[in-house]
Amino acid sequence: MKRRNFVQASLALGSMGSLASMVACSTTGRIPEKARVVVVGGGYGGATTAKYVRMLSNYQIDVVLIEPDSVFVSCPMSNLVIGGSKNMADITTPYDNLSGKHGVNVVRDYVSGIDATKKTVTLASGPSIRYDKLVLSPGIELMFNSIEGLKQASASGQILQAWKAGPETSNLRKQLVDMPDGGVFAISIPEAPYRCPPGPYERASQVAHYFKQNKPKSKVLILDANQDVTSKGTLFKKFWADNYKGILEYIPQHNVTAVDAKTNTLKFEVQNDIKANILNVLPTMRAGTIAVQSGLANANGRWCGVNYQTFESTQAKDVHVIGDSILPAPAMPKSGHMANSHGKVVAAAIVAQLSDLAVNPEPFLTNTCYSFVNDKYVVHVASVHQYDSKDKTYKTVPGSGGLSAAPSELEAIYAWNWAQNIWNDTLS
Amino acid sequence: MNVYNRFSLCTFVLLMCSVATSHAQQTATALHQRANAAMCSNCHGTEGKTVDGSAVPSINGMPKDYMVLQMKAFKDGTRPATVMHQLTKGLTDAQIESIASYYASNKR
């Protein structure tokens, strides 16, 4: 029996034997010469893909997940750490269950190169791994050079982004705690598309809530390169007017071109300079570095074009790209929930292709995105994206999706439960 | 091998091919159904099992007829919701049936 037929037979039979016996042979950390599936990046997209390739193949297809960090720190909910109602431990999950429970071989390393012709990835530590299918989920790269002076100010730790959750998240919290009452926190937002459209507005709300409780003479400035709030605009603006009047100021159409770290000043394309005690500068973003370096970012050199049915790159065969790195279909947000959804579609497509089965002709994706406007009230936006085989793209289903009617405590309970369940679905 | 035997061998091979094809189709359909149903598990947990203490309910092992009725009640607005009315409006009745069948077939 050919191996792929064996996989097919096993898929038909359902799970064969106990899970424990099948994953007992997992060899986490060992670097194999070859894996049928190699996944790069252990965020919402990559970790979900690794787990679901294992699950959907009934543990017949071996998966290597390459991730440099020792633990998963969630971007969604990280604004609560900045606001002070959660801590880093609350948003951190280990990778242990991916290996122990699902037999994913988690290799802690960076990928330094991809050869799509020879079908190999090379690790920063030296070895190469051959693959049948490669999935890239490298998130975003912050283009520090798009703002004069930002690279140095970021490297010195003075001007933080905290857009990749981790040490900068707690460092930004510390800057806020250390700031005297009467100070100014300024967050700048790049032109869309960027990771997590409502994230900057949620962060500004969290900081405003912290100031209102603890430093009432302080101010929050939002300097947005966009024409208007890019997500949940009416909900955010109403909550700000009702709750943060005199604390939070929203200023659209302000595109930061330079920072002066010596004087903590933002410089703009058109308008006058603005000084603040704390600058939280979000530069323009593009696909994760490895995707750009490998020539996969074929849309304006920033985002990776994919065949949306399988998420296979339009640039390289058997290389699939998911999550924030892709050129999105219309109205498809760059979010953790969406990356998790991509992970399931790509996992099913790869299991089908490696088993000589038809690929799902009509996949669909869901997205639910919650934002905390203070420590107890939440608003959401939701959407459903159906693949259209004629136009070869995802389209939001007419009449579906939408926003919260108003901020509510009930949705705050659901939001935190959403986080716990999606962390479990992605990693455990 | 006489003509009859040759004919019957051909028939047998064709029959086996068709059995294999239909078997592969069923396997593919089951894979697609499982992957589509996994769109619920972002909130309702892998295989429909939420974490302990979750206000979002587990849906694994939920009776199919009950789940279809609830999903359609969200969809037509007769059951109020914070988000489920918006998500179910993105699903066809056939997708709702398929998802409900999948979770009903799972053991609790």
Whether A383 maps to a domain, the answer reads no
CATH number of the domain enclosing B55: 1.10.760.10
pLDDT, residue B106, reads 87
Measure the CA–CA gap between B31 and A385, rounded to whole angstroms: 20
**Cα A172 from Cα A178, distance rounded (Å):** 10
Is residue A56 within 8 A of residue A37, CB to CB? The reply is: no
Check residue A26 and give its pLDDT: 45
B69 shares contact with chain A (CB less than 8 Å): no
Q: Is B6 on the interface with A (CB under 8 A)?
A: no
Domain boundary among A283, A311, A330: A283
Query: Which residue type occupies A143?
Result: M
Residue A8 has a pLDDT of: 72
Q: Among all residues of chain B, which has the CA nearest to that of A44?
A: B42
Helix (H, G, I), strand (E, B) or coil at A81: helix
The arithmetic mean of pLDDT across residues A167-194, rounded, is 98
pLDDT of residue B22: 86
Report the pLDDT value the prediction gives residue B21, as an integer from 0 to 100: 74
Residue A191: predicted pLDDT: 96
Number of folded domains in chain B?
1
**Model confidence at A392, in pLDDT bands (50, 70, 90)?**
very high
Decide if A373 is inside a domain: no
Task: Please state, rounded to an integer, the average pLDDT across all residues of chain B.
Answer: 90
Q: Which residue of A414, A420, A425 is in closest CB contact with B46?
A: A425
Q: Mutate which of B27, B60, B99 to test chain A, going by most A C-beta atoms within 10 A?
A: B27
Asked if the Cβ–Cβ distance from A384 to B87 is below 8 Å, we say yes
Residue A22 has pLDDT above 50, yes or no: no
**What residues make up the domain containing B67?**
3-105
Q: What is the dihedral of CA A103, A44, A311, A390, to 10 degrees?
A: 130
User: Whole-prediction pTM value?
Assistant: 0.94
Residue A14 in this model has a pLDDT that exceeds 80: no
* pLDDT beyond 90 at A34: yes
A95: CATH: 3.50.50.60
When mean pLDDT is compared across A50-54, B11-15, B69-73, the lowest value belongs to: B11-15
Residues A22 and A119 in one domain: yes
- Look at A384 and B89 and tell me if their CB atoms are within 8 Å: yes
Domain match, A129 and A17 both: yes
Could you tell me which of A380, A375, A323, A383 has the C-alpha nearest to residue A347? A323
Domain span at residue A237 reads 144-283
- Of A283, A315, A334, the last residue of a domain is A283
Of the residues A340, A345, A425, the best mutation for testing chain B's interface (the one with the most B CB atoms within 10 Å of its CB) is: A425
Give tens-digit pLDDT for A359-383. Answer: 999 999 999 999 999 999 999 999 9
Cβ–Cβ below 8 Å for A341 and B39: yes
Q: Is the pLDDT of residue A259 over 70?
A: yes
Tell me if A400 and B90 make a contact (CB, 8 A cut-off): yes
Give the pLDDT of residue A142.
98
Q: Supply φ then ψ for residue A312, to 5 degrees.
A: -75, 135
Which residue in A has a C-alpha nearest to residue B75's C-alpha?
A400
For residues A332-354, give the mean pLDDT.
Answer: 98
Is A394 within the bounds of a domain? Answer: no
Decide if pLDDT at A19 tops 50. Answer: no
CB A47 within 8 A of CB A98: yes
Q: Classify residue A212 as exposed, middle or buried by CB count within 10 Å of its CB (0-12, 13-18, 19+).
A: middle
> Taking the CB of residue A341, how many other CB atoms lie within 10 A of it?
27
**E strand or H helix at A204, and its extent?**
helix A199-214
Query: A80: part of which helix (H) or strand (E)?
Result: helix A78-83
Distances (CA, A) of A241 to A28, A205, A215: 52, 11, 19
Q: How far apart are CA A222 and CA A211, in angstroms?
A: 15
State the average pLDDT for chain A: 94
Q: How far apart are the C-alpha atoms of A319 and A133, rounded to whole Å? A: 6
The answer on A277 and A162 residing in a single domain is: yes
Give A294-303 contacts, CB < 8 A, sequence gap 24+. Answer: A294/A113, A294/A114, A294/A116, A294/A136, A294/A319, A296/A136, A296/A321, A296/A325, A297/A325, A299/A327, A303/A193, A303/A327, A303/A328
Residues of B in contact with A348 (CB under 8 A): 31-32, 34-35
> Which residue, A244, A267, A283, sits at the end of a domain?
A283
CA A361 to chain centre: 26
Residues of chain B contacting A418 with CB distance shorter than 8 Å: 42-43, 56
Residues A189 and A321 in one domain: no
